[in-house]
Every structure is written in C-alpha cells, then in structure tokens.
Structure 1
C-alpha cells in the first residue's frame, strides 16, 4: 500500500538529508517540532491547521488585506464558498486541483485580481483564457459561477471574484486533507486582463529550476515559495502533452543518482498510457495518493517519479540556485521527510502569493456581479 511505499521512501530521504548540507534544511524546519519519522500520509497531516488571527498584510506587497473583511458585510460568505467547493469536489474529485490552479493562474498575471475569469469579447476584448498555459486546460469556471451567484443572492456586490478564488483555493486544499489557513480578503476585481502576461509569466511544465525560480522572482516570490507551492501538484492530473519530455528523456534529469535507477517502470507505465492517445490522456500528478493533499509529491520526486519535467527537476542534486540561499533539493527532502513542515510552508506561501498585485497598483478595481464580465458589460 501507499504507506509502506512512503516508509521506504522516507528511509531514502533520511540518507539524503545526511548527505545534503544542513544549513538550508535546518532553517526550513527550525520552528517545527521534532522530525516525524512515522509513515506520513494525507490523513495524518490533515489535522494540521494554521491560523493567522486577522493580521493585516501590507509589508512589501502594497495591498491592504485582512482576515475578517466579510464578517459584517457578508457573514456567511466563507460558509457559502466552502459548501460550493465541497459539492463540486464530491461530484468530481479532480475539481479540487482545478480550483486551486485557477487561483495560481490568476495571481501570476498582474496579481490576484480575478482577471483569469474574464471571458473574451471579440474583437474588443481578449482575456487570459486562450493563453497557451490556459486554453483547454483551466477548468472550474462553472463552479465559480455557481458560488458567485449564491454570494450575490446573499450579499450583492460585496464579495469579489478574486477573493472567491482565494477562499475556494484554501477550501480545495482542506477538503483534500491538507492544511487550513485564514484567508486574507479585500481584493478588488480587475476590469482588464492580459493575454501576453499569461503567456509570459506562467511557468511551463518543461521549465528547469533556474527558470522556475526566475518566474517566481518576477512576481515577488522566493525560491522557497516555488518549492512549497509546487507541492500543489500532490493532487490533480496532467495531459500527456505536458510531460512528453519525461518520456523521451529530453531536457531534465530523472532525479540524479536517487531517481535514475528507480523510475523506469514508472516511465514505462506513462508511455503505455499515452501511446495512441494523441497526447490527450490524463495521468495523476501523484500516482500514490492522487486525491489526497499530502507530502507524497516530494517523496515521489526523490524516487524519480515526478510526472512533469518541471516537478522532477526540483530533485536534481545540483545544489543551490545562484543568487538564493535556498538549496532546492534540501527543501524537497525536508518536505518529504515531514508533512507538517510542508503544510506550514505551503500555507505561508499561499498567503504571500495571495498578496500579489499588479505593478503600479492596477487601478481601483471593482466587485464584479458576474465573474466573467466587468460590471459595465453585465
């Protein structure tokens, strides 16, 4: 079963930790309790809950967000979002990853402003949905529509679509067995979108570590944020076209000495899945616990079983990325070794990502009544 597999992998991780430099790993886990050496699963990690007490976020972000924004204006807002997410995931377990991904793809293009939800209105307006990383890939728009309609009935023109995405992302993690955190709210919805920004800013599944780090730096996030947020790939699926480089062995190491001798069966199973599918077949990003938000993703990387080239690249033993204090491989090992460390860092990185805003402020924004169109066009 998955537990025994994880146990074996954790033994490998322990050896790797001894071999890796200890400085970065120690800084990653310095506030954590003693290392959990038991078999770590999603259900065990689900008890981890991280609260942020209503503190306001502004330092370095240029935005003013807070935890109890809707307490008076729309007291049932988070209950409505949570119930909508739970219904959607019960009907389609893959939807948890899809809703989480919508928030990522929103925030990486001019900040977390709901722009990813805007429909094209040719020839006058082209949004982000047809960008290469999004077209025929992003999903969950109908779920957001349904939740937004309920919010509008409860408290009209109050909860922004951008905040809805942030809350739904958190609830998608929680319903999948992952950590909880207090979402900071107060975002406004953009009246514009950027097709070019989506094409340029979003990391590709074939990206190497240096490119991944730079993409995150470009929006104000660190290498550590990149490794922690990559753990979102512990749930969800990807099309064969997104990991074809893994099958051909092009561009990315299979994980170095730890991975190269262990992933042949894994890659052969993927080749069998994808053959004859014209690249449209779907594979679980985490074969071991595909619907559970846990640290199995990082354990898979250490065994050479990362699905996307950009995932497996994180386990390369190449050492620290120039210009950072974070040893990527050490962070991967630390998260594989202790789910609570991953959960803590993931929640904190989600909060940092949620504070991203457009360069120069992005204008005043609005609270859209329909997440697909700006209010003047509703």
Structure 2
C-alpha cells in the first residue's frame, strides 16, 4: 500500500508545480482534465508504479523510456502499446524496441485499476504520460503537473519507430535532427538525455565503443580509460552482448544530475550521450556544464521539456478512441480477447532496457 507520506508529498508536488510551469502549448490538454470524471487517477498511478518498484527498481527508468518511445513515433498516442494483430504491425518489434521495452505489464495494471474506478474515461496515452512523471518523482527527480486529455491511436507504425527513434550511436548532428523533427530544441535534447541518469543497458548497444569504434579497431578515444576497463569486464569482446550495465555508474537508480558530471569525466555510456560534451565547440557543452553545476536548472528544464515532448502529435476531442485495453484497439475480434495477460507476460520475459 502506498504510504500516506508518499501521497501527501505527491499532492504538495502537484500544488507547487501549478505556479511554475506552462501546462501545455496545446489548449485542448488540461492538467485537470479528469478531476471530475476520474478523481482517483493520480493515486492509482502512484500506487501501481510504487508497488512495481518494490520488486523492480528499474521500472522508473523503463516507464520514462516507454513514454519517450511512444511520443517520437506518430505522437503521444499509446501506439507503442499495441500488439500485433491482423490489422496492426506492432512498434514493439521495431529495432529500437524489440526485446528492450519494459513496463507494459505495469501500464496494463494501471489501466485495469482505472477501468474499475472510472470505465471508458482515461486514455492509455495519458496513463503513459502520468506514469513517466510519477517515475521521475519516485526516483527523487522532478515532478510536474501533466497536461491531460490525449486519446489513443487506432494505428501503429513500425516503419516510423525504426526511423524516428534516436540510436545510441548517433552523432550530435543526428541527435539534433531527430529532436528538431519533433519540434524539440537543443536544450530539450540535453535535458531529456538526462533521463539516462538512471536505468540499465544491454552491452550490445555500446560494445563497439570498447573495441572497434567507427571500425578503427580501437576504443572510442572519448571514453575515460578507467571506465573503459570497467565496461570491458562487463562486456567482453566477442561476448553475447546480453549483459547489463548501469547507465549511470555512480547512482544508477536515482534521478539526479550525475549524468552530466559523468559526461564531463568521459563516462557517458552511449556515444550519443558523450557526443553532448565531447563534440568540439558544440553548443551543448555549455548546457551540460550548467546542468552539472545546478540541479535545479536541470530539473526545471527537464520538466519543461517533458511537457513539450508530451504534446507531440496528440489526439484530442473525437480523434482516436479511449481503449478499453491498452494493447488492442476496441474494434478487435473475439479471438484477441483470449489470453491477453499471457501474451503480455510472454512479451515481457527476458526483456532488457536501454534506459
């Protein structure tokens, strides 16, 4: 059960944020959207995410990543949650997602409880946005009042998932282009990359930096040599690539500003992380320096950038639908109703995360 202290702290967080941050550039989204129709919503999300974290401390990072991977593909519409069907080609099997998405079961648990409390009211897209905010807060990071009122898509797009999601080997120019395409600027890029302050990664996503960076047969010269030795023990050359390591070697389960001091020490795990500080004369360097010195500056920027990201391509009004189950659109065959829970459990087995 969620403690009274947790609930009280959450309420204080919500009230504090009301005066400090613009809710949404989309006038149709409103942080009080469910105040009358589902007043229990925030409590339910906190309760489920907190309970999940008791056995899985990685879940906070996984839920933030899940929201990110949803929004960068045809907008924040819960398309990432859709399973394969006769008419849906799931984004979950796109290269950036396959065997790496986590937290789908937690989202489904939230949806089940929400449907019991207020059926046919809350979208899965809004649940994703709320779960990301709650995860940040419970990991000692910032909280913000989430603009709500999104609706769920009727489609998924695996092609866009393969094209739009930034890769861990991206250069700074590629990262900027990817974020700019979504309407996000350089500060948003550096702030949102700070979500790599917690979570874990599969060796296969960065092992080339250790032994054969850019086909040179040598390590990435920007890697801290001590860190390189540590990573080489975890991810041996010609290994399976399935071992896991922390994205932040200092405080792996806490949302803090250590990510930026790690970059300054050459301890960014992904090439895409280290590019923010090690690209010569990059305008991102000053932002990294600012965030590494000032936690409040990072937290404030992260909140603003998460709200901006949460506005990407949202469906509102009569667009899309409110799914009854997050993995399937409402117009589904009877056969798809069978063993939905079992299907989700199979998808979650053996999953590793790049956040």
Residue 249 (structure 1) shift = 5.5
CA contact (8 A) 2:23 2:145 kept: no
Q: Which structure 2 residue ranges, 5 or more long, are not aligned?
A: 1-11, 338-355
Residue 255 (structure 1) shift = 9.2
Residue 52 (structure 1) shift = 3.4
CA contact (8 A) 1:302 1:315 kept: yes
Rounded to whole Å, the distance in 1 between the matches of 2:81 and 2:42 is: 19
Residue 245 (structure 1) shift = 2.6
Q: What is aligned with 2:250?
A: 288
Rounded to whole Å, the distance in 1 between the matches of 2:100 and 2:317 is: 26
Q: Find out whether 1:91 has 2:46 as its counterpart.
A: no
Q: Find out whether 1:179 has 2:135 as its counterpart.
A: no
1:133 to 96, 99, 103: 96
Q: What is aligned with 1:74?
A: 38
1:267 to 188, 208, 228: 228
CA contact (8 A) 1:55 1:66 kept: no
Rounded to whole Å, the distance in 1 between the matches of 2:59 and 2:151 is: 25
Q: Find out whether 1:57 has 2:24 as its counterpart.
A: yes
Residue 125 (structure 1) shift = 2.1
CA contact (8 A) 2:204 2:242 kept: yes
Q: Which structure 1 residue ranges, 5 or more long, are not aligned?
A: 1-46, 321-326
Q: Find out whether 1:170 has 2:136 as its counterpart.
A: no
Question: Which 4+ stretches in 1 moved above 3 angstroms?
Answer: 47-50, 52-56, 251-256, 360-363
CA contact (8 A) 1:163 1:187 kept: yes
Q: Indicate how the Cα distance of structure 1 residues 254 and 274 shifts in structure 2: closer, same or farther if over 3 A, else same.
A: closer
Q: Find out whether 1:351 has 2:318 as its counterpart.
A: no
Aligned residues: 317
Q: What is aligned with 1:114?
A: 78
Rounded to whole Å, the distance in 2 between the matches of 1:244 and 1:132 is: 17
Q: Find out whether 1:230 has 2:193 as its counterpart.
A: yes
TM-score (norm 1): 0.79
Rounded to whole Å, the distance in 2 between the matches of 1:247 and 1:255 is: 6
Rounded to whole Å, the distance in 1 between the matches of 2:196 and 2:107 is: 21
Q: Indicate how the Cα distance of structure 1 residues 119 and 218 shifts in structure 2: closer, same or farther if over 3 A, else same.
A: same
